[in-house]
Structure 1
Amino acid sequence: MKLFVTDLDGTLLNSEHKLSEFSMNAIKTAMDKGIPVCIATGRSYNDILEIISELDVKPYIISSNGASVYNTDGEKMYSISIPKDQVREIITYLKAQNLEFEVADDEYTYITQKGLDILHQELEDVGSVDTKKREELEQDVLGLVLSQGNLKVVPDMEVLLDSIESANSVSSISAYLNKIHKAMERFTMDKRILTFSSWKYNFEMTSSDTSKGIALKHLCEHLGIGLSDVAVIGDNYNDLSMIKIAGIKGAMGNAVENIKSMADFQAPTNDEDGAAKFLYKLMEDMGL
């Protein structure tokens, strides 16, 4: 193994979207032993920096599901974004469907106040029928949105559009799966964008010219590392493109079946520090 690549939510982070001390120490140990580490996630760059702020040495970062790649000095090596006029098309549709949406660039993840209001209302509506499900959704839906350290709430869609030049990604989240599936089907037909889900309550969009896998290829070319020497671990559909091309394939215990079916190794769940344990196993196999 010459490069270790890990997803964040559902993988390196626990179900409270936190990085445990055990997992942080695993990343530190690998880098101290000379193994490059890359975090590949749907989160935007500044949000990732806040999560890993306690790491003295920064890893490589693939942010916004492959839209940008950064080196360990924080320099952008690669970037492909969605043009602003296309962002307007996307979020105009989502707004008309009464769906929450988030638009991310390198600096912020933008959300409208109306979007937050929609999420709160959905949770209230669900909770009035099923209290247990509401508790689950408060963590899985609202908890994920609010865990983003660079989240910026703006008054409305026009202020959001005035704040960006382009977008690394656009995403939507809802407590209602039928709303998510309907919108996702609509955008799957648009060949300009890549549409996928990182877990069941959301879907995300990037430029069709990128993915975590494409970004990983660019990083490996830069580092002079063959894909056969890369270890990757993830949990959901947005990780498929990089797990497919990696020589060493890991799946979380909480991963979707598509990920598990192609993995060489199944780690424990994200609440059991599965990604870190996978990394320690690989280092042990190397005699480190």
Structure 2
Amino acid sequence: MIKVIASDIDGTLLNREHRLSLENKKAIMRARESGIMFLISTGRKYKDAITVLESENLADGYITLSGAQTISSQGELLSSIPLTRDNIFKVMKCASSYPVSVILNTIEQDYMIGNQLEMEESLRLREMALHEEKRAERETGHRDGRSLIQMLKKRTVAVSTLDTLFLKGAPVYKLFIIGSNQQILNQLDCEIRQIPDIASASSYITNLEITHAKAQKGLVLRDFIEQRGYKMKEVMTIGDSMNDYSMISMDYGVTVAMENAMEQLKKAAKYVTTDCDQHGVAYAINCLLDGNIGDIRKK
């Protein structure tokens, strides 16, 4: 029996217009009224996640920054797993050999290393990545990251060096790497994965998300539910991108990929629901509650 549902936000709970449909909202409310805990599991920061759901009051908890933090429904910090300074230096060194932009995520602010001109050049690269994602959206049906990139551009500031950033005392939870060439990102990804205690995933075809190895959605979700007396077989997970891979590939009771998900994620999931523009979360939840889980297409 499923007692917990954990869902990604972008490309999963939200449609391509980044809106929560009435169908998805009703299905979540129905699940919670049935006694099922509903969790958000996202690469977003908490304050960005609640902009979607705050007025809806739909979530019983949040796994944010791809697993680097867990937050209660009241906004209380429950756990925190920042990157080590040593690993930040190592990732930045790897990235310096490639034409990519690296954004360092703290809770209150996003940073880029360099002066104003270097930052402007990085913004130009990010625009190239935006256009590449839009092309991919047309060709594959996968979501593009325009709104996310625009949001990051508004709040990213330049700092001269990593040491200057560390003097501010704010932990870095995630490195967000953006490039305009998928092959280059794949090469960089292979290098980064050689660094101990690092996890690398992606939410779009033109980015990498670097966190501590323990800060992965699936691992953090397991800790969260077990601390509350639930078992993995009692959990349904829903996602669409490779930063959802850990919670889709782990042996949770019901694992569901969106129809618009990356192919590797679909292969890892036990079921595939409808597209995010067709209320795929609602379809999966309603099938579960109606006792017709088999109606969700098997991979």
Deviation at 1:69, TM superposition (A): 1.5
- Mapped to 1, the partners of 2:200 and 2:214 lie a distance apart of 12
- Mapped to 1, the partners of 2:188 and 2:180 lie a distance apart of 14
Aligned match of 1:232:
237
Structure 1 residues 133 and 105: CA distance shift in structure 2, 3 A: same
- Mapped to 2, the partners of 1:72 and 1:250 lie a distance apart of 24
Are the equivalent residues in 1 in contact too, given 2:100–2:125 (CA < 8 A)? no
Deviation at 1:21, TM superposition (A): 3.4
Is 1:120 paired with 2:121? no
- Mapped to 2, the partners of 1:87 and 1:121 lie a distance apart of 21
Deviation at 1:224, TM superposition (A): 0.6
* Residues 164-173 or 183-192, more deviating: 164-173
Please point out which of 225, 248, 259 is paired with 2:254. 248
Are the equivalent residues in 1 in contact too, given 2:236–2:252 (CA < 8 A)? yes
Alignment RMSD: 3.1
Are the equivalent residues in 2 in contact too, given 1:101–1:170 (CA < 8 A)? yes
Aligned match of 1:198:
203
Aligned match of 2:30:
29
Q: Which runs of 5+ in 2 are unaligned?
A: 293-299
Instruction: Report SS of the residue matched to 1:258.
Output: helix
1:183-215 Cα distance to aligned partner (Å, 9 max, x none): 212211101211122331111111122311110
* 1:209-228 matches, cutoff 5 A: 209-228=214-233
Deviation at 1:250, TM superposition (A): 0.9
Instruction: Report SS of the residue matched to 2:6.
Output: strand
Structure 1 residues 65 and 9: CA distance shift in structure 2, 3 A: same
- Mapped to 2, the partners of 1:197 and 1:80 lie a distance apart of 18
Is 1:153 paired with 2:156? yes
Structure 2 residue identity aligned to 1:39:
I
Aligned match of 1:276:
282
* Residues 79-88 or 3-12, more deviating: 79-88
Deviation at 1:52, TM superposition (A): 1.3
Is 1:68 paired with 2:33? no
Instruction: Report SS of the residue matched to 1:43.
Output: coil
Structure 2 residue identity aligned to 1:174:
G
- Mapped to 2, the partners of 1:85 and 1:125 lie a distance apart of 28
TM-score by length of 1: 0.84
Please point out which of 164, 173, 184 is paired with 1:179. 184
- Mapped to 2, the partners of 1:121 and 1:136 lie a distance apart of 20
Are the equivalent residues in 2 in contact too, given 1:17–1:147 (CA < 8 A)? no
- Mapped to 2, the partners of 1:135 and 1:232 lie a distance apart of 24
- Mapped to 2, the partners of 1:95 and 1:17 lie a distance apart of 33
Q: How many residues align?
A: 282
Structure 2 residue identity aligned to 1:232:
T
Structure 1 residues 261 and 85: CA distance shift in structure 2, 3 A: closer
TM-score by length of 2: 0.81
Deviation at 1:117, TM superposition (A): 4.3
Structure 1 residues 102 and 31: CA distance shift in structure 2, 3 A: farther
* Residues 114-123 or 250-259, more deviating: 114-123
Are the equivalent residues in 2 in contact too, given 1:103–1:111 (CA < 8 A)? yes
Instruction: Report SS of the residue matched to 1:285.
Output: coil
Deviation at 1:26, TM superposition (A): 2.7
Structure 1 residue identity aligned to 2:232:
L
Identity %: 26
* 1:47-196 matches, cutoff 5 A: 47-91=48-92, 93-95=94-96, 97-110=98-111, 114-115=118-119, 117-121=121-125, 123=127, 133=135, 140-147=144-151, 152-158=155-161, 160-196=165-201
Q: Which runs of 5+ in 1 are unaligned?
A: none
